[in-house]
Amino acid sequence: MGCIQSFRQCCDRPKNTNVRISLPAVCFVWQIAMIILFGIFIRYNEESDAHWIEHKTSNNISSNIENDFYFRYPSFQDVHVMIFVGFGFLMTFLKRYSFGAVGFNFLIAGFGLQWALLMQGWFHSLDPMDGKIKIGVESMINADFCVASCLIAYGAVLGKVSPVQLMVMTLFGVTLYAVEEYIILSLIHARDAGGSMVIHTFGAYYGLSISWMLYRPNLDQSKHRIGSVYNSDVFAMIGTLFLWMFWPSFNSAISDHGDGQHRAAINTYLSLAATVLTAIAISSLSQKTGKLDMVHIQNATLAGGVAVGTAAEFMLMPYGSLIVGFCCGIISTLGYIYITPFMEKYLKIHDTCGIHNLHAMPGVIGGIVGAITAAAASEGVYGKEGLRNTFDFKGEWKDMKPTQQGGHQAAGLCVALCFGIGGGIIVGCILRLPIWGDAPDNSCFDDEIYWELPEDEENNPPTVEYSNHMRNKAVTESNVSLERRQN
Amino acid sequence: MGCIQSFRQCCDRPKNTNVRISLPAVCFVWQIAMIILFGIFIRYNEESDAHWIEHKTSNNISSNIENDFYFRYPSFQDVHVMIFVGFGFLMTFLKRYSFGAVGFNFLIAGFGLQWALLMQGWFHSLDPMDGKIKIGVESMINADFCVASCLIAYGAVLGKVSPVQLMVMTLFGVTLYAVEEYIILSLIHARDAGGSMVIHTFGAYYGLSISWMLYRPNLDQSKHRIGSVYNSDVFAMIGTLFLWMFWPSFNSAISDHGDGQHRAAINTYLSLAATVLTAIAISSLSQKTGKLDMVHIQNATLAGGVAVGTAAEFMLMPYGSLIVGFCCGIISTLGYIYITPFMEKYLKIHDTCGIHNLHAMPGVIGGIVGAITAAAASEGVYGKEGLRNTFDFKGEWKDMKPTQQGGHQAAGLCVALCFGIGGGIIVGCILRLPIWGDAPDNSCFDDEIYWELPEDEENNPPTVEYSNHMRNKAVTESNVSLERRQN
Amino acid sequence: MGCIQSFRQCCDRPKNTNVRISLPAVCFVWQIAMIILFGIFIRYNEESDAHWIEHKTSNNISSNIENDFYFRYPSFQDVHVMIFVGFGFLMTFLKRYSFGAVGFNFLIAGFGLQWALLMQGWFHSLDPMDGKIKIGVESMINADFCVASCLIAYGAVLGKVSPVQLMVMTLFGVTLYAVEEYIILSLIHARDAGGSMVIHTFGAYYGLSISWMLYRPNLDQSKHRIGSVYNSDVFAMIGTLFLWMFWPSFNSAISDHGDGQHRAAINTYLSLAATVLTAIAISSLSQKTGKLDMVHIQNATLAGGVAVGTAAEFMLMPYGSLIVGFCCGIISTLGYIYITPFMEKYLKIHDTCGIHNLHAMPGVIGGIVGAITAAAASEGVYGKEGLRNTFDFKGEWKDMKPTQQGGHQAAGLCVALCFGIGGGIIVGCILRLPIWGDAPDNSCFDDEIYWELPEDEENNPPTVEYSNHMRNKAVTESNVSLERRQN
């Protein structure tokens, strides 16, 4: 801790927010690197290659509709909307950081998905025949998933970092993600359709650890900019609703064709519906006169989708989904009321969007629910074929038992936690270097630093108090001058 | 009428808008009830159950793509967007009720869809073998449809009721919906793919009757809050456009696989396009200098989708769809200009969103168009197989003739009307009880009552008039005090 | 040029912006014409007709899922969102023209798609048996595509034309589009899945030519209204993101079933990701302190989708897509910085939305990329079957070679350019007639002219300067009056 403290101090030099060299340099270098690596490694898979027509004949595929594109593309588009509009607009709630929320979200997602295609490709879809990565619609969904974990992490540091820091954070975030995903899904053979562990737990703890490393003791200098205004809260609801509505697609996008996708969508739909009611109930309870708080509506209503992620494709049963959503709505809302202030005050972790309540806790719950549901699976409920199919008890895992699978699920959760916290601390150290152009403590949460703002009247609307004050002052002065004149 | 009047008076006690006990209580009790009932009754159907793989083999289904999920899931997601973003944002047009519009829409939809799964399940998909309701993607669409009728009703009372009242209204609304749907679709054997009768006519008259029962003679105390502001009108256009764009999915979501869904989408697409032109034409005609009114653009442009609902899957012909849209654009816009003020003044029905023009009238027209189109159906146009398929002349209805079907359609419309008006009056009586925490007449259409509002400068922007007034007053006072001083 | 000049002068009479007769007249006449023409010409195709069930049997189609509806409907809905929300909201960036942006976009799209179904139907899907146009889901996508070209053109004249002019512009635009599309796709046999040439090049040059013909030398009288405000920029990001996210659906919507659609989606996804990074890099480089400009983020990030349009279904290779996106992000952003001001100053072309940078240049690049990619196609890369399939070397074109195809692609690009520029000049002449109700030079970019605006406080928010000025004036006057009184 002492070491971290001294490292922190050594990094606290005066801030220069000019990113005119660093941001374009990073963008160009990384994009050129992507082109070269894509040129070397990435090719179409057999379903998106022009040889598909021959592949179809030789594999006795009766119709083009059997192409994976038609199974997954609608879900892909929904996930895509969640990444860019959902996460982007969810973060517009700050009164003067909407450009940064939507714009930097766009930037890091645009970069992250390319790097994710490469990293995930090396681990998962490297063709041993020619050493190439073969991509298709499922690769695009997985890339979007990977990016989601970095956008979750962005939520913790929203308004406090520069776009260059975000790019670095995404580069390492995607890399760590690909490794932990490979360990959890392939080595440990845990199942995680909706990514409660792989995406949410990892992403949230990654972001929180970075936020802890970048702790700003004097952030209260920017306190007046942390709140929302009426319109920014409505904009944020666009993000909330698109996340909420398309979450069934998120959790079902890469699950098994047929009943797997079908069941994952139903479970998520139900879990989210239950969360809305309990989040609103706790929000109302927390205020003297029962008024609702937009922060809870915007965030806690989504916790059910996170928590049902791992178990979405299992036979969780409709009432099981409702129970998961029920609990998470309560826990997440209580988190916003009690845990976020606690973490800021005592743990020195400032969490702008409250990702601990929306992703970290529900993600861990989701991992646990997944482990329990897997351990409790039986042939009676799933059918013999169904059990093998759902848990992929094939190949080297063909003798696995559901109880064992439960253990593997729990192990997967631990890996996600370790990668999130460990990776976040290391990347946080790198991001403390005083070369990234982040804002000084009194200019956080302000688009002014990185954006050309329109010179509009509404930028600094005169408040009634302000103009009254000014007027009174002027009138007083006029009186004074009059009195002087009279004397 | 006298009886209703005296009941009204007995209910007009001083208002207490504190919902801190009632709202959480209702949310928790109902959500727990849902969990218990789901536990007892609701299971996955054969297409979302892990036994699908065995079902597939035993039913000779060649591919997973035959799972109903792939026929209906894209439409489901579109409908889902209409429910949450479409209806939610359409109602944000009021200058200070955007939180209530989007937030309460979210609350009642989240609850309503769970209750709808149960109610519709008992009537439509109870498995006689084990007494369980089996749900799949079609159940989710139907639940969303059911919720739509309650959200339509919400439009009539927007800004005038408390969230607790909305929950009660939804509980009864869903119940009534399930019964009338069962009568219309199963007992009467009317067809209603897009729900002109079942959803729109019922929902609108349900809401209007409630609004009539809850009539507030002194609502003009809140008159200054009924208008829109520039940004709130743009937010409302988000709702309008997502409703408009996805209406083809709404009307085709549960129609027959293949040509049924295909035709329903085309008919709706065309009808809506025609509505846009006539709504804009009448809007322009209604103003001295031909200016357009946002209220008409936001609402009347959607009337064509409502009116083509019942007949969408019939052979309405492309020009038939255009004619329906053409007429409804005119009628709906004229409704906003003439009928809404008339209803408020003479019938004592205050209709905040004008659902009479957008849902009630077009819904009835849609029912009539459906009856005529059904009665005019012939084997020449549909083909022998096609006629049987489209109108489901199978089983006990196998000897039905199109003319008879026309009669049944008309009967269905009457049932929807009766349930809407009758149900609305009864539920309206219940909602008049002075225990629900609704706002006093001078605080309607104000988020202040039920929401923690951000303390932002823009909350009460000083108007030029206002600040002039204040300034003049201050200056006058300074003059007065000066004159006093001079004396 | 002299002739054009004198024609211009003869048209410059005092402006009357009353459209109360003309707008409704145009809407009604054209909508009635549509109904009549649809009645005569348009019928359902075999996949949306009730005879589908018989067609299925007689054509040995095993399942309803083979209906084209299930191949294309999800893409259709995405394209539909791009047309109405994407283009509509992209243009809301102006501080006082959001109603006009979204509303007129809605109007011309609603009309345009009907006329497009007819025009495209006459050229492409006229059934020789009965002289009827048979429509299905692909016709709806093509109609939306056609409308897109008119909406692109709208971008150039945004805020400077009346709704009646827009309707005229759309009528001719759709007509020209249908002819050039027929020439390019059918006569020349060029391929253009995403419409780089047919949609973007044509649409952009059509709009720019019209804007040139309608040049207003005194437009600086409306200069103060050309900028954005904070919230209007956030609204515009809704448009940007929905265009960006759904562009893969746009480029793949009408390409070949199976690998064609799959590959088009992947190529577009990658190209757009690369564009984001280079657009942001150049935007940052162009400002002294590296700040980003919202204009570039809103527009230039989309250029990659335009430029990859033609080649999207070819074997462009993932790295090829990245390169196209890389270049277009740079070129488009530089266009906004250097070319748009140049065009306005020296070429007398005022381009409100900068469509030259977003659609014209990337469209031409897309045409060239398509020609090169086609010319370079080989059996080694595509496979024998794949080559024939991808380039449709069938029927009368069965002996065509890829190099020839490259020439045909280039010819197609020239046709699109000629139709755009030529058509735009002619239609621009028509639109200069002083009968269309366009706004005077000092009232451009103002919703006030064609819309009933809410009387809201925020309409004319008092600036600090303004209210200070007013206050000082008032205080001064009070002093004066006091001094007078004292004398």
Point out the least confidently predicted range of A455-469, C45-59, C123-137, C206-220.
Answer: A455-469
Provide the whole-model pTM: 0.92
- Decide if B258 touches A, using CB distance below 8 A: no
Q: How far apart are CA A177 and CA A206, in angstroms?
A: 10
Give the pLDDT score at B115: 97
From the list B437, B465, B412, B487, the residue with the least C-alpha distance to B193 is B412
pLDDT the model gives residue A62: 87
Q: Is the pLDDT of residue A468 over 50?
A: no
pLDDT at residue A483, as a whole number: 44
What's the CA gap between C12 and B484, in Å, rounded? 61
Q: What is the ipTM of this complex?
A: 0.91
Query: Which of A57-71, B194-208, B457-471, C362-376 has the weakest average pLDDT?
Result: B457-471
Question: In the complex, which subunits touch B with 3 or more CB pairs below 8 angstroms?
Answer: A, C
Which of B35, B16, B300, B249 has its CA nearest to residue B144?
Answer: B249
Which pair of tokens denotes residue A310?
């791992």
CB pairs B-C closer than 8 Å: 266
What mean pLDDT is reported for chain A? Answer: 90
User: What is residue A275's three-state secondary structure?
Assistant: helix
- pLDDT at position A157 over 50: yes
Give per-residue pLDDT as tens, B77-101. Answer: 999 999 999 999 999 999 999 999 9
What's the pLDDT score for residue C435?
Answer: 85
CB neighbour class for B204 (10 Å; exposed up to 12, middle 13-18, buried from 19): buried
Specify the pLDDT at position B125: 85
A35 pLDDT more than 90: yes
Choose from C49, C482, C487 for mutation: most chain B CBs within 10 A: C49
pLDDT digits (tens, 9 = 90+) for A380-422: 999 999 999 999 999 889 899 999 999 999 999 999 999 999 9
Smallest CA–CA separation between A343 and chain B, in Å?
23
Residue C462: predicted pLDDT: 37
Q: Which two tokens stand for residue C50?
A: 């009730």
Q: Is the pLDDT of residue A465 over 70?
A: no
Contact: A110, C273; criterion CB under 8 Å = yes
The tens digit of pLDDT for each residue in A188-244 reads: 999 999 999 999 999 999 999 999 999 999 999 999 999 999 999 999 999 999 999
Whether the Cβ atoms of residue B312 and residue B269 lie closer than 8 Å to each other: no
Confidence (pLDDT) at B373? 96
pLDDT digits (tens, 9 = 90+) for C78-96: 999 999 999 999 999 999 9
Q: Give the list of residues 6+ apart from residue A198 with CB closer than 8 angstroms, or none.
A: A145, A149, A177, A180, A181, A184, A185, A192, A412, A416
Amino acid C33: pLDDT: 97
The secondary structure of chain C, three-state, reads CHHHHHHHHHHCCCCCCCCCCHHHHHHHHHHHHHHHHHHHHEEECCCCCCCHHHHHHHCCCCCHHHCHHHHHHHHHHHHHHHHHHHHHHHHHHECCCHHHHHHHHHHHHHHHHHHHHHHHHHHHCECCCCCCEEECHHHHHHHHHHHHHHHHHHHHHCCCCCHHHHHHHHHHHHHHHHHHHHHHHHHCCCCCCCCHHHHHHHHHHHHHHHHHHCCCCCHHHHHHHCCECHHHHHHHHHHHHHHHHHHHHHHHCCCCCCHHHHHHHHHHHHHHHHHHHHHHHHHHHCCCCCCEEHHHHHHHHHHHHHHCCHHHHCCCCHHHHHHHHHHHHHHHHHHHHHHHHHHHHHCCCCCCCCHHHHHHHHHHHHHHHHHHHHHCCCHHHHCHHHHHHHCCCCHHHCCCCHHHHHHHHHHHHHHHHHHHHHHHHHHHHHHHCCCCCCCCHHHCCCHHHCEECCCCCCCCCCCHHHHHHHHHHHHHHHHHHHHHHHC
Question: Where is pLDDT greater, at C101 or B18?
Answer: C101
* CA angle in degrees (0–180, nearest 5) for B174-B177-B183: 150
Phi, psi angle pair for C446, to nearest 5°: -130, 120
Tokens 């002492």 — which residue?
A2
Measured CA to CA, the distance from residue B135 to residue C464 in angstroms comes to: 60
Interface contact flag, C463 A457, Cβ < 8 Å: yes
Residue C116: name the closest of C145, C80, C84 by CA: C145
A103, two tokens: 């714009």
Give the three-state DSSP class for A462: coil
Q: What confidence score (pLDDT) does residue C464 get?
A: 36
pLDDT of residue B5: 61
Please name which of C54, C48, C131 lies closest in space to residue B317, comparing C-alpha atoms.
C48
CB contacts under 8 A, B 318-357 vs C, are 318-319, 322-323, 326
Q: Give the pLDDT band (50/70/90) at residue A10.
A: low
Does the structure show a pLDDT above 60 at A324? Answer: yes
User: What pLDDT does residue C459 have?
Assistant: 45
Distances (CA, A) of C176 to B364, C98, C150, C419, C423: 40, 28, 10, 7, 7
Where does the pLDDT of residue C125 fall: very low under 50, low under 70, confident under 90, or very high at 90 and above? confident
The one-character DSSP state at B451 is B
- Which position has the higher pLDDT, C468 or A404? A404
Distance (Å, rounded) from C-alpha C327 to C-alpha C240? Answer: 19
> What is the token pair recorded at A308?
């049902």
Q: Could you tell me the pLDDT band of residue C13, with boundaries at 50, 70 and 90?
A: low
Residues facing C44 on adjacent strands: C135
DSSP structure class, residue B438: P
Say if the Cβ atoms of A453 and C229 lie within 8 Å.
no
Classify residue B455 as exposed, middle or buried by CB count within 10 Å of its CB (0-12, 13-18, 19+).
exposed
CB contact B378 to A (< 8 Å): no
Q: How far apart are CA A175 and CA B137, in angstroms?
A: 37
CB-nearest partner of C27 from B71, B257, B277? B277
What value does the mean pLDDT of chain C take?
90
**Test the A interface: residue of B30, B45, B52, B459 with most A CBs within 10 Å:** B52
Among B318, B390, B483, select the one facing C42 at the smallest CB separation: B318
Question: In degrees, to the nearest 5, what angle opens at C-alpha C276 toward C-alphas C271 and C281?
Answer: 125
Nearest to A479 among B49, B107, B482 (CB): B482
Q: Is residue B387 left, alpha or beta, with left meaning phi > 0 and alpha meaning psi from -120 to 50?
A: alpha
Residue recorded with tokens 């776009």: A163
Torsion of CA C128, C131, C132, C137, to 10 degrees: 30
Asked if the C-beta of A53 comes within 8 angstroms of chain B's C-beta atoms, the answer is no
Q: Confidence class of residue A288 from pLDDT cuts 50, 70 and 90? A: confident
Distance, first Cα to last Cα, chain C: 68
The low-confidence residues of chain B, meaning pLDDT below 50, are 458-487
| A180 SS3 class | helix
At B43, which helix (H) or strand (E)?
strand B42-44
d(CA B282, CA B296): 9
Does C343 score more than 90 pLDDT? yes
Query: B419 near B204, Cβ under 8 Å?
Result: no
State the pLDDT at residue B12. Answer: 57
Residue C304 has pLDDT above 80, yes or no: yes
- Tokens for A362? 């529900």
Q: What is the least distance, in Å, from the CA of B100 to any CA of chain A?
A: 10
Between residues A478 and B165, which one has the greater pLDDT? B165
State the pLDDT at residue C8: 58
CA–CA distances in Å: residue C358 to residues C161, C201, C285, C339: 21, 10, 19, 12
What whole-number distance in Å separates Cα of residue B276 and Cα of residue B326?
8
**Distance set, CA C393 to CA A87, B18, C252, C398 (Å):** 44, 73, 20, 4
Does residue C476 register a pLDDT over 90? no
pLDDT band at A457 (very low <50, low <70, confident <90, very high): low
The answer to whether the Cβ–Cβ distance between A475 and B475 falls below 8 Å is yes
Asked whether the predicted pLDDT for residue A437 surpasses 90, the reply is no
Question: B428: buried, middle or exposed (CB in 10 Å: 19+, 13-18, 0-12)?
Answer: buried
Task: Give the pLDDT score at A3.
Answer: 59
8 Å CB contact of A23 and C280: yes
Chain B, 3-32: which have a CB under 8 Å from a chain A CB?
17-24, 27-28, 30-32
What integer is the mean pLDDT of A86-96?
95
Q: Which of residues 99-128 of B touch A (CB under 8 A)?
A: 99, 102-103, 106-107, 110-111, 113-114
Dist CA A349 CA B333 (whole Å): 55
Does residue A168 contact residue A138 with C-beta atoms inside 8 Å? no
Please, are residues B459 and B447 in contact by the beta-carbon 8 Å criterion? no
A103 contacts A166 by C-beta, under 8 angstroms: no
* C-alpha closest to that of C100 among A231, B239, C108, C18: C108
Sorting pLDDT into bands at 50, 70 and 90, what band is A2? low
Q: State pLDDT tens for residues C326-340.
A: 999 999 999 999 999
pLDDT, position B467: 39
Of C62, C290, C386, the CB nearest to A19: C290
Say whether residue B233 is in contact with chain C using an 8 A CB cutoff. Answer: yes
Nearest Cα to Cα of residue C170 among C116, C225, C237: C116
Residues 404-443 on B with a CB inside 8 Å of A are: 437
> What one-character DSSP code corresponds to residue A300?
G
pLDDT tens figures, C391-415:
999 988 989 999 999 999 999 999 9
Question: What value does the mean pLDDT take over residues C322-351?
Answer: 96
* CA–CA distance, A441 with C382 (Å, rounded to integer): 57
Contacting chains of C (3 CB pairs or more, <8 Å) are: A, B
The predicted pLDDT at position A477 comes to: 41
Parallel, antiparallel or unpaired: strands C42-44 and A126-127: unpaired
- Closest Cα to residue C318, out of A77, A114, A174? A114
